[in-house]
Amino acid sequence: MSSNTGSGIGFSERSDSMPRKPKKPCAYPGCPNLTDGTYCDKHRKEARRQYDQYERAADVHKKYGRSWKRIRNRYIKEHPFCEECFKEGKMVLAEEVHHILPVSRGGTNEVSNLMALCQSCHTKMHIQLGDRKAYR
Ligand SMILES: [Zn+2]
Ligand SMILES: [Zn+2]
Ligand SMILES: [Zn+2]
């Protein structure tokens, strides 16, 4: 009851010898606990459990990869010969499916953006793309 305010000064000023991160409130909604992580001890476990659920959601990405494989296999079944070699009248079995507009530049897995190529034509195609970039 008789304790006065006024203590605490100096305490915060001595922190220069000990580098410490300021504690933040727990990221759990409504939790008043302070932590130097994201969650307080109490909610860390809970967050871990939620994270596991998020990880399962990441399967959607894997699914996309699997469906590309299906698209690719079907495309190759419908276009069994290299489309580049075919232009020159050669029948060479296609081994790869090439994106005409690369996925990294917004290309899709749609048939209109795909090309069945043999390995050497595919390599050539990418060297050409790379060369054009290099020569600007
Ligand atoms: Zn908490
Ligand atoms: Zn070819
Ligand atoms: Zn390609």
Q: What is the pLDDT along the chain (136 residues), one digit of tens a residue?
A: 555 555 545 555 554 555 667 889 999 999 999 999 899 999 998 888 877 776 665 555 555 567 888 999 999 999 999 999 999 999 999 999 999 998 888 999 999 999 999 999 999 999 888 755 444 4
The ligand that comes nearest to the alpha carbon of residue 125 is 3
pLDDT at 118: 97
Would residue 12 count as lying in a domain?
A: no
Range of the domain at 70: 65-129
CA of 112 to the centre of ligand 2 (A): 18
Task: Flag whether the pTM goes above 0.75.
Answer: no
pLDDT at 86: 97
**Domain check: are 76 and 45 in the same one?**
no
CA of 118 to the centre of ligand 3 (A): 10
**Domain check: are 42 and 84 in the same one?**
no
The DSSP secondary-structure symbol of 81 reads B
Q: At what angle do helices 41-57 and 59-78 cross, to 10 degrees?
A: 10
Q: Three-state SS for 17?
A: coil
**Domain check: are 69 and 118 in the same one?**
yes
CA of 45 to the centre of ligand 1 (A): 10
